[in-house]
């Protein structure tokens, strides 16, 4: 599947390459307040045996990878991936392969993975529906999608504020704050199984979906 927005993809790649050195420091407050515990709980539910992580970043999920399954992690940014590979070596995860790859145009065959995981990634994929369609393509029928994501608030006033702030925040950070990810998962062809609010106002959610048979 071809990338429909190559200029925006290059913009995102450059943004994350530029911030890769300080990314963990930038994320430290939310990582230790919320993300860390959510990641650990999510990976306890992953059984594979063949799993794809989209947007591995600096490797925040690597400490929680189950040992008994085969995991392939991809990321658009070589700068982010370099740090993930360093962590992977430290953790001695021999069952893990990391690759530089665009989530919107993946170099995997159809029906290849049993489960797909993405944590706080779809907010930065230029075309999230295209990325979700690619994830669907490479997942086996009946396979699972597991997402942790922040998205547009359900509260009308807060949602409207996030709409106005979305463009400037994206320009600075490469992240969109007002995406409607649950709806995007459905538009891409996945069957929603469960949506769990992780915080008030519906901004942080855990989404579980499956590929129809």
Radius of gyration of the chain (CA): 16
Phi and psi at residue 107, to the nearest 5°: -95, 55
> How many residues belong to the chain?
213
1 within some domain: no
Looking at the chain, the number of H-run helices and the number of E-run strands are: 7, 7
Q: Domain range spanning residue 140?
A: 6-56+65-210
155 within some domain: yes
pLDDT given at position 1? 63
pLDDT given at position 103? 98
Tens digit of pLDDT at every position of the chain (213 positions): 666 689 999 999 999 999 999 999 999 999 999 999 999 999 999 999 999 999 999 999 999 999 999 999 999 999 999 999 999 887 777 899 999 999 999 999 999 999 999 999 999 999 999 999 999 999 999 999 999 999 999 999 999 999 999 999 999 889 999 999 999 999 999 999 999 999 988 899 999 999 999
97 within some domain: yes
Q: The domain spanning residue 184 has which CATH number?
A: 3.40.50.150
> pTM for the whole thing?
0.95
d(CA 25, CA 58): 11
Structural domains of the chain, count: 1
d(CA 83, CA 71): 17
Whether residue 138 contacts residue 106, with contact meaning beta carbons closer than 8 Å, is answered with: yes
pLDDT given at position 2? 66
């Amino acid at each position: 599947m071809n990338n429909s927005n190559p200029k925006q993809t290059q913009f995102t790649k450059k943004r994350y390459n530029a911030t890769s050195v300080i990314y963990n420091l930038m994320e430290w407050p939310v990582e230790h307040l919320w993300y860390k515990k959510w990641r650990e709980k999510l990976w306890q539910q992953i059984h594979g045996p063949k799993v794809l992580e989209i947007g591995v970043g600096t490797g925040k999920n690597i400490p929680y990878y189950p040992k008994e399954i085969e995991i392939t992690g991809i990321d658009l940014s070589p700068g982010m991936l370099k740090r993930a590979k360093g962590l992977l070596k430290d953790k001695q995860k021999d069952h893990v392969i990391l690759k530089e790859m665009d989530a919107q145009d993946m170099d995997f065959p159809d029906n290849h993975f049993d489960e797909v995981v993405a944590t706080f990634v779809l907010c930065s994929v230029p075309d999230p529906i295209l990325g979700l369609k690619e994830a669907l393509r490479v997942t086996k029928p009946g396979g699972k999608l597991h997402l942790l994501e922040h998205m547009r608030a359900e509260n009308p006033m807060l949602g409207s504020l996030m709409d106005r702030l979305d463009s400037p925040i994206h320009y600075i950070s490469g992240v969109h704050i007002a995406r409607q990810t649950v709806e995007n998962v459905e538009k891409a062809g996945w069957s929603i199984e469960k949506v769990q609010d992780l915080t008030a106002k519906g901004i942080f959610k855990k989404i579980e979906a499956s590929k129809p048979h």
